[in-house]
Chains A and B, each alone.
Chain A
Amino acid sequence: MSGNNLVLPIVLWGRTAPTHCISSLLVMDDFSTIITGCHDGQICLWDMTPELGICPRAMLFGHTASITCLSKASACSDKQYIVSASESGEMCLWDVNDGRCIEFTKLACAHTGIQFYQFTIGTQREGRLLCNGHYPEILVVDATSLEVLYSLVSKISPDWISSMSIIRSHRTQEDTVVAVSVTGILKVWIITAEVSRMQDLDPVFEEESKPIYCQGCQSISFCTFTQSSLLVVCSKYWRVFDAGDYSLLCSVPSDNDQAWTGGEFIAADKVIIWTEDGCSYIYKLPASCLPASEHFRSDVGKTKEGSIPPLVYSIANRSDKQLLICPPVTRFFFGRREPFHKLLIQGDSAGRLSLWSIPDTSPLQPLSTATELQVSSTISLQEAFDKLTPVSAGIIDQLSVLPGKDEPIKVTASVYIPSQGRLVCGREDGSIILVPATQTAIVQLLQGEHMLRRGWPPHRTLRGHRNKVTCVLYPYQISPRYDQRSLVSGGVDFSVIVWDIFTGEMKHIFCVHGGEITQLIIPPENCSTRMQHCVCSVASDHSVGLLSLRERKCIMLASLDTSSPSRLSSGVRQMTTWWWDALTALSTSGRWTQGNLPKYSHNALVVQSMKTNLTDPDMHVLFFDVEAVIIQLLTEEAQRPNPTLVSPETLQKSQAGADKGGSFLANKIFKQVKETMKETIKEHLLDEDEEEEEEMRRREEKSKSLSLLEYNLTMDTAKLFMSCLHAWGLNEQLDGICLERLGMLRPHCPISFGLISRGGHMSLMLPTFKESLLSKLSLATGRKLTLSDIVGKGTYGVSRAVTTQHLLSVISLANTLMGMTNATFVGEHMKKAPAR
């Protein structure tokens, strides 16, 4: 999917913001972007204004495990690159502007810290990344290719490096790398011109190795103000060392059980230290640590513990904060050019960013009582979502809002059936909705007559589960050996239900598990014939069931004995290795990984449901394959009878007929759609008592002709796609023609597009991106703009890559449509069906 195909994603995030439990933080040098990495492996880009307003812009997908560290990866401001590393050893280079993945690599061991380092040889500048982690060396990696160039190695008691810092000296051409190992040994490497030019894997040994007895070192930082001291923060104390001979200048213990997690110099005489629970303290350094003072180094060697330097400010964590599930991440950044902000930034498990602007002056009060610094700005991902008007759309929100309730019922599991263009959504109330995907996407994204109708588009509701549906599976899509009627769903009510997708009938309920169903999997092709018609269900009580859809019974139920995690209980011996995949998948199910990227066979539209965390509701990404749309349009054009003689009505019919080769299946769908349309027109509540009546009606309908049907998947897809991509608002005359003559629809608000880059990495715009776009454009044009003014401007200007993709798509698709006879999106159905 990467590279060759032109595939454009459009995201429907829904009202619930994705879980973003922040694990690492970075602020770009120009202070316009904050980058956060989370425990589920996503990276979020936040826009920041000079007034410290923050707004989430995009989310980057691609890492399969928790983000361990982030670092900038380019020095110049015209190309802003960052590098991210994950717990599983992956490393990715991203473009901050559009979220493109430029390079990626994977090592066997995980990095826990990365520092960008620019090396200058004459006029040539080379970017390097120094990495430390779960290995005893410091790896020097090329910042553009991510190749390991050489490594810095310890001769004396080598061990993992817990933290490092680069010291740049103006006096000599040498730069120094200072690091502390987990056993508390300070190591010093000198990077000279020769070393940096070195390309082979010769190791560089340390210059100095000195025990400083700092076990559990959390961070080490160099004072850029005086260039002569180092701050080392350990969980129980922090220390200042002389950067020249590494002698101890002062040591401050932590009081009442607080664990320090990091610190930084904020001025020549002040440090900020933060704790695990999110509090920070600004201390004034004693005179013995200040090179400007005459008492500098006055008590080297006789430092006594326990003397706590004066506290200038304290920064408590927010009292009104939500319950956190893990310690927050705190970092300090200061601007080296305008605006010269000194910012303390904290990110927590609720996806919240808090900013404190640190003043340069000390408070006027006496130093005995530390002044509390107030938060400058704070926002969580969910808050940003909640502020949006209109709210961020979910794929079937219009069908899910119950009367009297604000929040729509959440979609908890979904599967898209491309051959029928239908989306199956299992919801938290136990119902399953079958709905044409393009129709429902049009309702969510575009303005039009459909807004007046209740219960549009025609859909079908399957009721059977008593509670949340956790997984849905359409086996036929994965392997044609299954019956194309069967749809399988599992829920937290411990049951697995088999449905007939065409009639909506409940075929069978399996109640074999003693826990919530967590996964439904298909056995591989090479298993026994009996197993070939089974699906495998995994439940939270560590049991795995083999359910035969054909025999309608449970063939085998195996349970994982948790008292010996590496062994299955008896009766399971005949099972092949894939069971293990099923079992190991328990922990990783539902995550967006490179493995479950949608496969683009020849489908113009693929709807992929995603969740960043297992507890999240589904969000949906519509992937448009431009090439496939064009091919399908052309195929239909070719299959059409002599075009000059065809009236619009018969055209519609023949299109519909040609749309699906298999007439049996096609008829089925048409019947289905018509039926569900009636159903919804009848009324919102599908009363099950009327089942028999309906059965009768259905039989009656069979005899009627199919002339009412005007459902064309390809044209609908093209319509949705063109309407989303058109640059609305550039040319009013053109907009009018598009709306009236061509039947295109105007979006409600700027659409969240995405960008697919190398290796299945993907960047998706958050719905909140339009807020920062609005303020940016308002500022540029000098007048107050509304959302509708910028509907078509959302994507132009993000980056050259995105603009190229979108222009190419629009041009090629418009060209195809122009070559077709009577091509218009003005649908018959919109005129005929009664508006309620």
Chain B
Amino acid sequence: MPCSLSVKFGQLHISSDLSCMGSGTLKGSRSSAKLHKMLNPQRSLSELPKMSAASQVERAVLEEEFNWLLKEEVHAVLKQLQDVLKEASRRFSMPTPGLESQLKQENFILGSSTMDQVKGVLTLQGEALTQADINLKVAKSSQVLHFQFREDKQWKLQQIQDARNHVNQALQLLNSRDESYHFKTGAEVNKLMDAVMLQLTRARNRLTTPASMTLPELATSGLMKMFTPPMPGDVMVNFYINLSKLCLTVYQLHVLPPNTTKNFKPAGSSVMHNPGAMFELNNNRFEVSHVHKVECVVPWLNDSLVFFTISLQLCQQLKDKISVFSSFWNYRPF
């Protein structure tokens, strides 16, 4: 049985069936003893000497296998992990100081199939939006408003930068443990995997959960001052990443008269506010009248999300492999 174990390690989907296999001897004797045990608990205790004798040989083999795991398999997985993460990191092109302008520029057309009130053309360069072109059709007047970024301005998408930094930190953790490094304990591997997984989960979470903002925060953010012609007071925009999509939200506002009968309740923070959300800014009360959201898939963000998931799986599987053995070390007959 132990040889079949090591064969199984070569494959990917091992963790759950492996832990069952690893306990094969335990299980066999136990399931037959199950009935016994229920009737007569002390009987099963007397089986212990037999079992521990059998596991002496098994233990030696397992120890050998565990050493193989630490010496060979761990490094194989780490190499694979490193390759996947390098691919992911390559997607987030890291700017070299002074050469930011040499990064590739990509244009994305943001639109929606169901409505055509808002259309945006955005240029993404690395982690920054360098150009933006927004067309907004105002429903009442059928007038089209057009805004674009000022020449001297660009908008950094913090989510992309954070994700990139987290991936690079995970890579750094892995780089310090190359083939020449000799892992001595399973705990050491687990600790490394925990650290890598923490960074990868953070990276993934940064892309999957955009920052939620309150409407006044949005209104006073630097984004509003980036456009030419300047944004009118009754329009607000927001850019963010949601999963692999680059999103643009446009809010149209109207001012609530000071003596309105409507009860005023300021909205909390949210990724996207619904029509009817209210807020107060500079002693003026506003209400969101229309919300338009358009989005476009960024292919390389999609790739990196897939890479994150694959890497997280690899990490978990490596941890599972280690835990198979740890449960054997724990098994100490009394």
Query: From residue A348, how far is it (CB to closest CB) to chain B in Å?
Result: 12
Contacts of B191 in A (CB 8 A): 21, 39, 325-326, 349
B316 touches A559 (CB 8 A): no
A540 touches B327 (CB 8 A): yes
Given the known interface contacts A466-B44, A540-B19, the answer about A493 and B30 at a Cβ–Cβ threshold of 8 Å is yes
Closest to B189 in A: A325
B45 touches A463 (CB 8 A): yes
A183 touches B176 (CB 8 A): no
Contacts of A464 in B (CB 8 A): 37, 41
Chain A, 579-626, CB within 8 A of any chain B CB:
none
Closest to A216 in B: B172
A509 touches B176 (CB 8 A): no
B323 touches A561 (CB 8 A): no
A563 touches B20 (CB 8 A): no
- Complex interface: stretch among A157-165, A670-678, A717-725: A157-165
B42 touches A689 (CB 8 A): yes
User: How far is A157 from B98 in the complex, measured between Cα atoms in Å?
Assistant: 9
A259 touches B97 (CB 8 A): no
Chain B, 18-45, CB within 8 A of any chain A CB:
19-20, 23, 26-27, 30-31, 34, 37-38, 41-42, 44-45
Given the known interface contacts A158-B156, A565-B312, the answer about A511 and B97 at a Cβ–Cβ threshold of 8 Å is no
User: How far is A211 from B95 in the complex, measured between Cα atoms in Å?
Assistant: 12
A516 touches B30 (CB 8 A): no
User: How far is A543 from B162 in the complex, measured between Cα atoms in Å?
Assistant: 34
Query: From residue A568, how far is it (CB to closest CB) to chain B in Å?
Result: 12
A468 touches B330 (CB 8 A): yes
Contacts of B211 in A (CB 8 A): 108
Query: From residue B49, how far is it (CB to closest CB) to chain A in Å?
Result: 13
Chain B CB within 8 A of A98 CB: no
Chain B CB within 8 A of A541 CB: yes
Chain A CB within 8 A of B280 CB: no
Chain B CB within 8 A of A542 CB: yes
Q: Mark B317-334, 1 if CB is under 8 A from A, else 0.
A: 100100100010011111
B15 touches A542 (CB 8 A): yes
A325 touches B187 (CB 8 A): yes
B162 touches A516 (CB 8 A): no
Query: From residue B270, how far is it (CB to closest CB) to chain A in Å?
Result: 15
B48 touches A466 (CB 8 A): yes
Chain B CB within 8 A of A393 CB: no
B327 touches A213 (CB 8 A): no
Contacts of B117 in A (CB 8 A): none
A87 touches B327 (CB 8 A): no
Contacts of B228 in A (CB 8 A): none
Given the known interface contacts A467-B332, A514-B16, A562-B316, the answer about A688 and B42 at a Cβ–Cβ threshold of 8 Å is yes
How many A-B Cβ pairs are below 8 Å?
A: 132
User: How far is A564 from B41 in the complex, measured between Cα atoms in Å?
Assistant: 39
B331 touches A467 (CB 8 A): yes
B165 touches A257 (CB 8 A): no
Closest to B42 in A: A688
User: How far is A324 from B44 in the complex, measured between Cα atoms in Å?
Assistant: 39
Interface centre among B41, B168, B195, B198 (most CB of A within 10 A): B41
Contacts of A11 in B (CB 8 A): none
Chain A CB within 8 A of B243 CB: no
User: How far is A136 from B316 in the complex, measured between Cα atoms in Å?
Assistant: 31
B188 touches A325 (CB 8 A): yes
Query: From residue A246, how far is it (CB to closest CB) to chain B in Å?
Result: 13
A contact residues, total (Cβ < 8 Å): 60
Chain B CB within 8 A of A429 CB: yes
A562 touches B37 (CB 8 A): no
Chain A CB within 8 A of B105 CB: no
User: How far is A825 from B189 in the complex, measured between Cα atoms in Å?
Assistant: 54
A509 touches B37 (CB 8 A): yes
Chain B CB within 8 A of A430 CB: yes
Query: From residue B133, how far is it (CB to closest CB) to chain A in Å?
Result: 24
Q: Mark B157-168, 1 if CB is under 8 A from A, else 0.
A: 010011001101
A688 touches B41 (CB 8 A): yes
Contact of B176 among A276, A323, A493 (CB under 8 A): A276
Chain A, 213-248, CB within 8 A of any chain B CB:
213, 216, 235
A325 touches B185 (CB 8 A): yes
B320 touches A562 (CB 8 A): yes
Chain B CB within 8 A of A395 CB: no
User: How far is A541 from B316 in the complex, measured between Cα atoms in Å?
Assistant: 12
Query: From residue A806, how far is it (CB to closest CB) to chain B in Å?
Result: 40
B16 touches A492 (CB 8 A): no
User: How far is A506 from B43 in the complex, measured between Cα atoms in Å?
Assistant: 14
Q: Mark A534-552, 1 if CB is under 8 A from B, else 0.
A: 0000001111000000000
Given the known interface contacts A134-B165, A159-B165, A542-B15, the answer about A183 and B316 at a Cβ–Cβ threshold of 8 Å is no
Query: From residue A425, how far is it (CB to closest CB) to chain B in Å?
Result: 15
User: How far is A541 from B14 in the complex, measured between Cα atoms in Å?
Assistant: 11
A492 touches B327 (CB 8 A): yes
User: How far is A516 from B316 in the complex, measured between Cα atoms in Å?
Assistant: 17
Query: From residue B327, how far is it (CB to closest CB) to chain A in Å?
Result: 6
Closest to B186 in A: A325
Chain A CB within 8 A of B72 CB: no
Contacts of B334 in A (CB 8 A): 429-430, 467
A211 touches B156 (CB 8 A): no
Chain A CB within 8 A of B12 CB: yes
Chain A CB within 8 A of B219 CB: no
Contact of B41 among A235, A463, A511, A543 (CB under 8 A): A463
Contacts of B45 in A (CB 8 A): 463, 466, 688
Chain B CB within 8 A of A515 CB: yes
User: How far is A559 from B15 in the complex, measured between Cα atoms in Å?
Assistant: 12
User: How far is A219 from B172 in the complex, measured between Cα atoms in Å?
Assistant: 16
Closest to B48 in A: A466
Chain B CB within 8 A of A745 CB: no
Chain A, 190-229, CB within 8 A of any chain B CB:
211, 213, 216
Contact of A323 among B26, B165, B168, B185 (CB under 8 A): B185
Chain B CB within 8 A of A494 CB: yes
Chain B CB within 8 A of A184 CB: yes
A323 touches B16 (CB 8 A): no
Chain B, 153-184, CB within 8 A of any chain A CB:
156, 158, 161-162, 165-166, 168, 172, 176, 180, 184
Closest to B220 in A: A201
User: How far is A508 from B35 in the complex, measured between Cα atoms in Å?
Assistant: 10
Contacts of B202 in A (CB 8 A): 134
Chain B CB within 8 A of A182 CB: yes
User: How far is A83 from B327 in the complex, measured between Cα atoms in Å?
Assistant: 39
User: How far is A562 from B44 in the complex, measured between Cα atoms in Å?
Assistant: 33
Query: From residue A503, how far is it (CB to closest CB) to chain B in Å?
Result: 14
Closest to A186 in B: B97
Chain A CB within 8 A of B13 CB: yes
Query: From residue B50, how far is it (CB to closest CB) to chain A in Å?
Result: 13
User: How far is A276 from B178 in the complex, measured between Cα atoms in Å?
Assistant: 14
Contact of A562 among B16, B38, B96, B172 (CB under 8 A): B16
B313 touches A563 (CB 8 A): yes
Contacts of A430 in B (CB 8 A): 334
Contacts of A429 in B (CB 8 A): 334
Chain A CB within 8 A of B192 CB: yes
A326 touches B16 (CB 8 A): no
Chain A CB within 8 A of B94 CB: yes
A541 touches B34 (CB 8 A): no
Contact of A509 among B38, B94, B96 (CB under 8 A): B38
Contact of B158 among A136, A463, A509, A514 (CB under 8 A): A136
User: How far is A466 from B332 in the complex, measured between Cα atoms in Å?
Assistant: 9
Contacts of A810 in B (CB 8 A): none
User: How far is A543 from B16 in the complex, measured between Cα atoms in Å?
Assistant: 9
Chain A CB within 8 A of B100 CB: yes
Contacts of B98 in A (CB 8 A): 211
A259 touches B176 (CB 8 A): yes
What are the 7 closest A-B residue pairs judged by CB atoms, nearest first? A211-B97, A688-B42, A429-B334, A514-B20, A541-B19, A325-B188, A325-B187
Q: List 7 A-B contacts (CB under 8 A).
A: A39-B191, A183-B94, A211-B97, A259-B176, A509-B34, A515-B19, A559-B16
Contacts A157-B97, A184-B97 known; list 13 others, CB within 8 Å: A183-B97, A235-B172, A323-B185, A323-B188, A325-B187, A428-B332, A430-B334, A463-B42, A467-B332, A493-B26, A516-B330, A541-B16, A565-B312
